[in-house]
A and B are shown apart, each in its own frame.
Chain A
Amino acid sequence: MPDSAPTKTVNLPGNHACALGAIAAGCRFYAGYPITPSSEVAERMSVELPRVDGVFIQMEDEVASMGAILGASMGGMKVMTATSGPGFSLKQENIGYAAGAEIPCVIVNVMRGGPSTGLPTRPAQADVMQARWGTHGDHPIVVITPDSVPEIYAQTIRAFNLSEQLRVPVVMLYDEALGHLIEQVSLSGSGDIEIANRKWAADPKPEFQPYASGDDLIPEMVRPGDGFRTHTTGLTHAENGFPTQDPELVDQYMRRILDKLEIHNALIESFEAIDTEDADYLVVAFGITARAARRAIKQAREQGVRVGMFRPITLWPFPVAAFESIVGGKHGVLIAEMNAGQLITEIERYRPAGCRVDGLNRIDGETITPRQILNSLRELADNE
């Protein structure tokens, strides 16, 4: 259906926009497990996938659904799963496998209050660090945080493109409020969407090395049945795909999978800067909180405090270069986030000397209001 559809405008909740973005990006396999507040992603995928000859399966648990999408991805399909905090914890083991064996996949985490079962129906932004460091060991991962329903749609498509091009797991990170928020979305016609695909290896030769790469540090993928007969493992492996403990080869592998994100940073990095040029102060916010910040910076300016906003859209790797160029010369930065202070640790790393850094943290299951941000900004300006 969406494959040949012209552009049309519809009202959708965020979770449905995510599902439709995935279909538009070419996702043809979804495995999931029910969990509030993400279940509508699975429900919509179960409607859409059969119509485009894709496969939907509800697995026995979160671990299995993450495993199943990796199997389907290695079979050649674009794949996705969606979950929330407790399920995101369970998926971490196979997210690590995807990072290590370089298997493209998109994982949606519709954040709710934690820890543990926490607040299943209330929004939070407390998985900032879990999205980056949830699975063990040094590993590459890309995390994207949209702040509106249209952006969920567009960024889901982009998440697939990045995952397929870079052979890296990509996390779509947004909260319950955005997942259930209904906004108008323009669903792109088939010709208007930029779609990127993985590089397939052709021409199987005996000396083929499945984990060797060129300067782009991204090995070509091998489709089972094409005659390559290669090995895929979660063990640290050499370019031939087989396990190794040779320190030199281990180092080579580790540096390649980490460096590949660094050298493709231009592709990955994304952010929004509003009124930052003449600003004395910055608000850093993402997702639903950025919407409140938009209003607060306007109100602050009306009251004579010159404030701008820096909104990371790619949360990890954090857009360091962009942030550093914007934060230079500012008197203070306010980080507003619905957690006890997670992104603030990253901001503090890049704070210029003499720049004050304040946190505004809400951990009661409610969204941060423009008034709260305004008050914190006034406090920052008064005490600077």
Chain B
Amino acid sequence: MNEAGKQFNIRDYLREYLFPHFLCPGCGHGIALRALLWAIDELDIDKDRLAFVSGIGCSGRLGAYIDANTFHVTHGRPLAFATGLKLARPDLEVIVITGDGDCLAIGGNHLIHACRRNLNITCMMLNNEVYGMTGGQVSPTTSSERYTTTTPYGNHEPVFDACALAEAAGAGMVGREITLQTPGLKDVLRQGLAHEGFSFIEVMSDCTEVFGRKNDLGSSAEMVLTQKASVRPDFLEDAVDQPFRPHQIKTGVLAKNDRPEYAESWRRHIEAMKRERGHA
């Protein structure tokens, strides 16, 4: 239920005339989209004020299904586009939907500087460990030893920890969740949307069709359960068994700070200049 007391109905936020959608059966991206729209509904954000910016890949195609102002831009560049849009229009709620390839490989430079600037944008990165749309090539988050169409002998590259990167670069809020925990994911996204600053949220999605199948990871449901087993909820942070389960992925809100928001500090800076020089 949202703040106006209305039950969340995802259809209120979708361009249903574009259905059927293009996602493969078992893809986790649709669940992530649902969680995002649910969080937006709870915060009761006016659809006309919503602006979604997405890049290229499966994640990039989600924006088109949302009944809002949607921008499907070039590969890796949604954060750059969103930076201009948000600075030009601080009244808009700007949300970036991106993927592990879009955000961490071709768009990696934009991510670290978006985190550093701390402009009030929410960035949802869908991590499915693979370039799905181009047919299943290795990505910066593909687990080691996994087979992809460009790692036919298994992946030998180390995995990127996007949340650690975002935190180190100064993002105002950093969070992670798996799609199985949809209400938890919604809560993390809601906190990200409400945070005054740059919020980076990694969603552990799954790609059954071109990644799971190639690695014998089973059906989508089995993949999601495997994810669940490898996740360590944040409330277990100090539990005694930690040394014995060192590889578990942390979820929930992983970092938060109150660094000044970029546009706000720019405006204050300029106003001070004008007062000093008598321009105001």
The interface stretch among B31-39, B81-89, B182-190, B217-225 is: B81-89
Contact A225 B89 (CB under 8 A): yes
Q: How far is the CA of A293 from the CA of B120 in the complex (A)?
A: 53
Q: Decide yes or no whether A97 CB sits under 8 A from chain B.
A: yes
Contact A229 B83 (CB under 8 A): no
Contact A232 B74 (CB under 8 A): no
Instruction: Please tell me which one of the listed residues B67, B88, B270 contacts residue A71 in the complex, with CB atoms under 8 A apart.
Output: B88
Q: How far is the CA of A74 from the CA of B89 in the complex (A)?
A: 10
Q: How far is the CA of A63 from the CA of B106 in the complex (A)?
A: 11
Q: Decide yes or no whether A134 CB sits under 8 A from chain B.
A: no
Contact A59 B80 (CB under 8 A): yes
Contact A225 B113 (CB under 8 A): no
Contact B64 A233 (CB under 8 A): yes
Contact A75 B92 (CB under 8 A): yes
Which A residues are CB-close (under 8 A) to B85?
71-72, 74-75, 224
A230's closest neighbor in chain B, by CB?
B69
Q: Decide yes or no whether A39 CB sits under 8 A from chain B.
A: no
Instruction: Please tell me which one of the listed residues A55, A97, A228, A233 contacts residue B87 in the complex, with CB atoms under 8 A apart.
Output: A55
Contact B74 A234 (CB under 8 A): yes
Contact B74 A76 (CB under 8 A): no
A1's closest neighbor in chain B, by CB?
B279
- Distance in angstroms from A176 CB to nearest chain B CB is 27
Q: Decide yes or no whether B109 CB sits under 8 A from chain A.
A: yes
- Distance in angstroms from A215 CB to nearest chain B CB is 28
Q: How far is the CA of A235 from the CA of B63 in the complex (A)?
A: 13
Which B residues are CB-close (under 8 A) to A155?
none
Q: Decide yes or no whether A68 CB sits under 8 A from chain B.
A: yes
Which B residues are CB-close (under 8 A) to A286?
none
Which B residues are CB-close (under 8 A) to A278?
none
Using known A-B contacts A59-B113, A230-B69, determine if residue A225 contacts B91 with beta carbons closer than 8 Å: yes
Which A residues are CB-close (under 8 A) to B74?
67, 93-94, 96-97, 234
Contact B91 A71 (CB under 8 A): no
Q: Decide yes or no whether A348 CB sits under 8 A from chain B.
A: no
- Distance in angstroms from B73 CB to nearest chain A CB is 6
Q: How far is the CA of A226 from the CA of B47 in the complex (A)?
A: 11
Contact A71 B72 (CB under 8 A): no
- Distance in angstroms from B271 CB to nearest chain A CB is 9
Contact A31 B77 (CB under 8 A): no
The interface stretch among B48-56, B158-166, B173-181 is: B48-56
Which B residues are CB-close (under 8 A) to A29?
84, 87-88
Q: Decide yes or no whether B273 CB sits under 8 A from chain A.
A: yes
Q: Decide yes or no whether A70 CB sits under 8 A from chain B.
A: yes
Q: Decide yes or no whether A57 CB sits under 8 A from chain B.
A: yes
Residue among B67, B74, B92, B112 with the highest chain A CB neighbour number at 10 A: B74
Which A residues are CB-close (under 8 A) to B84?
29, 31, 57, 67-73, 75, 79
Using known A-B contacts A71-B80, A93-B74, determine if residue A55 contacts B88 with beta carbons closer than 8 Å: yes
Which B residues are CB-close (under 8 A) to A50?
270, 273-274
Instruction: List CB contacts (< 8 Å) of B21-77 with chain A.
Output: 47-49, 51, 53, 63-64, 67-74, 77
Which A residues are CB-close (under 8 A) to B109?
60-61, 64
Contact with A along B249-280 (1 / 0, CB 8 A): 00000000000000000100010011000010
Contact with B along A44-86 (1 / 0, CB 8 A): 0000001100010101110111111111111111010000000
Which B residues are CB-close (under 8 A) to A231?
63-64, 70-72
Q: How far is the CA of A55 from the CA of B86 in the complex (A)?
A: 11
Q: How far is the CA of A226 from the CA of B89 in the complex (A)?
A: 12
- Distance in angstroms from A100 CB to nearest chain B CB is 10
Residue among A79, A226, A243 with the highest chain B CB neighbour number at 10 A: A243
Contact A224 B89 (CB under 8 A): yes
Query: Which B residues are within 8 Å of any A CB, using their own CB?
Result: 18, 47-49, 51, 53, 63-64, 67-74, 77, 79-89, 91-92, 109-110, 112-113, 266, 270, 273-274, 279
10 closest A-B pairs by CB: A71-B84, A67-B80, A75-B88, A68-B84, A71-B85, A72-B84, A72-B88, A64-B80, A233-B72, A71-B81
* Besides the known contacts A67-B74, A79-B84, 13 further A-B residue pairs in the complex with CB atoms under 8 A apart: A29-B88, A57-B87, A65-B80, A67-B80, A71-B86, A72-B84, A72-B85, A75-B88, A225-B49, A225-B69, A229-B67, A230-B70, A242-B64
Q: List 11 A-B contacts (CB under 8 A).
A: A29-B84, A31-B84, A55-B88, A59-B83, A67-B110, A71-B83, A75-B85, A79-B84, A94-B74, A97-B74, A224-B51
